[in-house]
Amino acid sequence: MVGKTQNNSDEIVSKLKNKGQLVKVADIDIALRMLKMHMDTQDINPLLSALETLKKEPQNEAYQAQVVNAFNDLGSMQGAVLTYAPYLNVFVSDDPFGDY
């Protein structure tokens, strides 16, 4: 399963790159503030850490993959995260079940 998750995050990062979509520090800041304000940070700490790392170097593909993996690992918390930080939708897979 870990290999499949890594492949999935690689595909998402590749799609971001192919779309020419830049990851913006200002949008990461807003997402971090909203998540810290509205959610229990203990529940989403790996995602927050990955976002803080990405903020330092937003176009780093390895850091983008960390955010994707942290988001994917949230399970049922993903909906709440997207409610308060809709910008993170750029990291969401087009294939939520990993079938393709």
- Flag whether 100 is in a domain: no
How does pLDDT run across 10-59, given as a tens digit for each residue?
A: 666 666 554 557 889 999 999 999 999 999 999 999 999 999 999 999 99
- Flag whether 19 is in a domain: yes
- Flag whether 99 is in a domain: no
- Flag whether 58 is in a domain: yes
Maximum Cα–Cα distance across the chain: 35
Task: Give the predicted TM-score (pTM) of the model.
Answer: 0.78
- Flag whether 96 is in a domain: no
Q: Can you tell me the distance from the alpha carbon of 75 to that of 18, in angstroms, rounded to the nearest whole number? A: 27
Of residues 57 and 91, the one with the higher pLDDT is 57
Number of domains in the chain: 1
Q: Which residues form the domain of 69?
A: 2-91
- Flag whether 42 is in a domain: yes
- Flag whether 57 is in a domain: yes
- Flag whether 97 is in a domain: no
